[in-house]
Amino acid sequence: MYSELVIKSMQLGIKAHAETNHLYDKDYPYALHLAHVVDVAYRFGYQVGLSKEEMVIAVSACWLHDSIEDARLTYNDVNKVTGQWIAEIVRAVTNYGRGRNRAERMPDFVYDDIKKVPLAAFVKFCDRIANMEYSYQKGSGMFKKYVFELPDFVEKLYDDKFKPMLEYLTEMSNKYESDLTLK
């Protein structure tokens, strides 16, 4: 039963992004990013104490986390396929959309909402880790933005159960800082 939910979520997320020609880093199918976020969820889910059922919900939400924001799916589209809990996570992690910059697109009330929806903060942390890993690997300027935003991101979403994720993000940031001093 649970694996069916993950498969349905994966299929819906990949299809929705493909149908809107939504690419990742301008060159890759968006499924690359979705799979990366799912990988992060598997790496950290049990470390932060998720149950098997919560892992299924979190992994399903990871496959869909950008589908409302970027792939023209609605809350109701996601709800019909996955149920309300996953739809609520996806809705909660969706950028507000309005704004001239990243800070305006993610006002404080969005973070407050993320904290209210069980597993939404975990999915947001998984997305942030995947984005940081990818941008670091590619040498993208986005990595510097993620490092700059990290203290604010952590302040708004941190819970002690995310300690392994925070330690990993901090380690990545410190590696970046040490790389800068070596140049």
pLDDT per residue as tens, the chain (183 positions): 458 999 999 999 999 999 999 899 999 999 999 999 999 999 999 999 999 999 999 999 999 999 999 999 999 999 999 999 999 999 999 986 667 877 777 778 889 999 999 999 999 999 999 999 999 999 888 999 999 999 999 999 989 999 999 999 999 988 766 665 544
Gap between the Cα atoms of 134 and 34, Å rounded = 12
**Entry pTM:** 0.93
The predicted pLDDT at position 104 comes to 76
- Return the pLDDT at 101: 79
pLDDT at 110: 86
Tally of CB atoms within 10 A around 37: 24
**CATH no. for residue 166?**
1.10.3210.10
Range of the domain at 72: 2-182
The tally of domains found in the chain comes to: 1
